[in-house]
Structure 1
Amino acid sequence: MVNVLIADDSMLTRTVIKDLLSRDRNITVVGEVSDGQEAVRSTCRLRPDLIIMDVMMPLMDGLAATVEIMASCPTPILILSANVDPMDSRSAFNAIKHGALDVMEKPQGVVTEAFEEIAAQLIQRVKFLSKVRVIHHFRRPRQRVAAAQPADHRRSVLAIGASTGGPKAVMRLMKELPRETGARVLIVQHIARGFAAGFAEWLDRESPLTVRLAREADLLEEGVALVAPNGVHMEVQDGRIVLSDAAPVNSCRPSVDVLFHSLARSDLATRAVGVLFTGMGRDGAEGMAALRRSGGYNIAQDEASSAVFGMPRAAIDLGGVHQTLALADIPAAVVRLLQKESNDRH
């Protein structure tokens, strides 16, 4: 049984969420609150398996409540946002930065055309996220990690794949990636419909690099990171971006495998660094193995720092990974690999 606490200042929204969650006999709503302060108190008192948290609430908003909850009684949190406009989703992504696991669109009621789809997604997300371990990474002692050993050839393309728990991990890497590396970055993040643009805008504010959604025929530019838009695959062909609505791969579109495979087939393979972060399933594993065979250098997030170790584990099991590192150690390893090209220019 999954015990859920709902935190939303709208009684109508709370009623809608309770109604759709009641469709699954294995989900029980153990409490509902209308402000962030009560969300913190109720979480520590009720100890739910998951909190469904609104972004905008009185007294204390969802971001501040997330910070307090993760400090006092860490609990899996799913952020709901009523508006998927990039500028209005900042608080949702900042909540992820401070410990929330995921974000999705708030169900508005049966009048919404996509309500049934959102309802099914919410139930699935609740059941999955409630099982995720919430970890205080900063409490774990740091371990000495061997430096990455780059090949003799240059590394100038960074391809990143991530799913559940990924936005925070991707942000951590992008924030510590110096613009001076001249990296050309490609990002595939599994994220709820409508939030890819907000994710790119959030990364753009957090990172020294320019980050934006990829467009058809974009060139790979130094110091620019391109994020795969919602609902389309992103590939690299002849140094340009190709977007397609081809069938999902590993039930995902965009798919990390599609991006990695395209790099493996290209003349950029020997200059590529692949990074696979936390996520459910195995998307990215086969593509990462192909990239390694073609001369790419690959890093996977380790189990201890992953919210979900599915994708990294699958890549490791296929032999596609050169290094398995804690999230805190991945940025330095990536920078070392990319700095070789920077150094080679002088």
Structure 2
Amino acid sequence: MIKVLLADDSPLVRAVLKDIFAATDDIRVIGEAADGREAVELAAHLRPDLIVMDLMMPVLDGLAAIEEIMSGFPAPILVLSGTLDDHEVNRAFAAIKKGALDVMSKPDGGGLTSPSEFSAGIVEKVRLLARIRVIRRPSRHREQPAPPPLAGGRKILAIGASTGGPKAVMSIVRKLPADFRGTVLIVQHIASGFDRGFAQWLDGECPLKVRLAAEGDALKEGEVLVAPTDCHLMVVDGRTRLTYGPQVNCCRPSIDVLFSSLVPLGSQVVGVLLTGMGKDGAQGLRGIKEQGGVTIVQDEQSCAVFGMPKAAISLEAADRVLPLDAIPAAIIKLFANSTEE
């Protein structure tokens, strides 16, 4: 049984969530908090498997509550955003930076899903996120054999991520230098309506220019393009293409679609696959490797969910398996070497 704590100052929202979870056989609400201080106290006392957290609460707001919970008695946290306006979405990504795992729009928050889609979506999120261990632990750096020399000419950095990904993606992109000699393309599985906020959040945290990809964008050095939600991002003849084809690996945008479109570019590509459930990106990463591109996979110890990286490793698609905090330096070295050759 998954034990859930609800933290929201709206009795109506709490009642809706309780009704949704009561219709399942495996999710039980064990506590309700109407303000952030109460949320912290109940989290410490009840030790829930997951906390569903509002951000705009009295006494102590959601951001401060998340910070206290994650520093004292960490638990998986799903943020529910009241609206999709810029201020609220920015706060949602600030919550992820403080340790929350994912974000969704409330059923009355201007999201793009119907009530039934919201119900199914939040139940799926709770079941997934409740499995994730968020205990504090130091990263374990394992010595790895030195990789073989790699061909130069790299021009594209393609990053794919899912659950736990926004913070992981940010930790990589923010460390890239302002004079980075490549285009960065990102597919992050994220709830509908949060794509623009994700791009804006990255733009404020990173030295490079970050924006949502648009149809027909030319690939420019030092620019980061984020895939919009609900459409696939591809690269065709040196320009972006957005398509509304069927889901791939139950995802749209799909990491595999982006990676596969880059396979013909061979050694120009560095593909990076980060935390996430399922197998999206693994097959495309293998294609990049087989055509002379460089592939990097996040290691198990630093992943929130070791699904997609594990699938890639099983396919022998990874040139290197690295802890998250070692990936930026590896990328910088690869692109620096490519400009010297």
TM-score in same-fold range (> 0.5) = yes
Are residues 1:299 and 2:292 paired?
no
Are residues 1:326 and 2:334 paired?
no
Residue 136 of structure 1: CA displacement? 2.3
CA contact (8 A) 2:132 2:304 kept: yes
Alpha-carbon separation, structure 2, partners of 1:73 and 1:48: 10
User: CA 1:68–1:37 in 2, change beyond 3 Å: closer, same or farther?
Assistant: same
Are residues 1:31 and 2:31 paired?
yes
Which runs of structure 2 are paired with 1:245-264 in the superposition (5 Å)? 245-264=244-263
- Range with bigger deviation, 86-95 or 284-293: 86-95
CA contact (8 A) 2:82 2:88 kept: no
Secondary structure in structure 2 of the residue aligned to 1:179 = coil
- Range with bigger deviation, 33-42 or 272-281: 33-42
Secondary structure in structure 2 of the residue aligned to 1:286 = helix
Q: Which residue of 1 aligns with 2:284?
A: 287
Residue 25 of structure 1: CA displacement? 2.0
Amino acid at match of 1:65: A
Alpha-carbon separation, structure 2, partners of 1:28 and 1:335: 46
After TM superposition, the runs of 4+ consecutive aligned structure 1 residues lying more than 4 A away are 141-150
Q: Which residue of 1 aligns with 2:9?
A: 9
Are residues 1:172 and 2:161 paired?
no
Which runs of structure 2 are paired with 1:6-155 in the superposition (5 Å)? 6-108=6-108, 114-137=114-137, 139-140=138-139, 142-143=141-142, 151-155=150-154
Alpha-carbon separation, structure 1, partners of 2:217 and 2:78: 33
Which runs of structure 2 are paired with 1:181-196 in the superposition (5 Å)? 181-196=180-195
Q: Which residue of 2 aligns with 1:278?
A: 275
CA contact (8 A) 2:139 2:323 kept: no
Residue 341 of structure 1: CA displacement? 3.0
In structure 2, the gaps of 5 or more residues are none
TM-score w.r.t. structure 2 length? 0.96
Amino acid at match of 1:206: E
Residue 83 of structure 1: CA displacement? 1.3
In structure 1, the gaps of 5 or more residues are none
Q: Which residue of 2 aligns with 1:315?
A: 312
TM-score w.r.t. structure 1 length? 0.94
Secondary structure in structure 2 of the residue aligned to 1:191 = coil
Alpha-carbon separation, structure 1, partners of 2:129 and 2:114: 22
User: CA 1:343–1:106 in 2, change beyond 3 Å: closer, same or farther?
Assistant: same
Alpha-carbon separation, structure 2, partners of 1:174 and 1:13: 35
CA contact (8 A) 1:211 1:227 kept: yes
Aligned length: 340
